Structure 1
């Protein structure tokens, strides 16, 4: 995923946390904030050390990025998203992560009907 699609700065993270709306299921919390400054969506990832070692955390982040890449056309492009992985996400494979993220994005009403 290109760098322009990422939320990296702490100020951007804090802005989404404080002004955005959160949606959750058992595996993920998603914060959504409207952002008209960019022509595409941006995502920020937060995977705690409680979920496992660096290899496991990076695997979870890869799964989340790949899911957003596959859903690129269906996701509302005028938003910033912060995804926080919860403990059950550590035991999931890619298909389960994708299904769970689709579920929480439907709850947030940011996926186009397909």
Structure 2
């Protein structure tokens, strides 16, 4: 993801956790905060050490980033989104991650209709 689309600072993560609305399924928890002054969305990732070693955590983050990139045209602008991976994601492949993220995004109502 390009720099303007990332959340990296702890202050930004804490603001999303504090003010955001959470939505979850078995594999992911997402927090969403409206940012009407932004003309695009921003995404932050959190994968706990409980999920696995560094190789496993980085693999999960790569899969999530690829799914976000694939859905970039339908994610609503003006949102800060933090995605937290839960333990079952360690055994998931790309298509399961994609399906699960799409499901939780629909629950949170942050997807526009596909063009």
TM range, smaller chain: over 0.9
Gaps of 5+ in 1: none
The aligned length equals 114
1:18 lines up with 2:18 in the alignment: yes
Aligned residue for 2:30, secondary structure, equals strand
5+ residue gaps, structure 2: none
Length-normalised TM-score, structure 1: 0.97
Mapped to 1, the partners of 2:37 and 2:51 lie a distance apart of 33
**Inter-partner Cα distance in structure 2 for 1:110 and 1:90:** 25
Q: Distance in 1 between matches of 2:104 and 2:45?
A: 15
Aligned CA-pair RMSD:
0.8
Question: TM-score by structure 2 length?
Answer: 0.96
Q: Quick one: distance in 1 between partners of 2:86 and 2:62?
A: 15
**1:83 equivalenced with 2:83 (yes/no):** yes
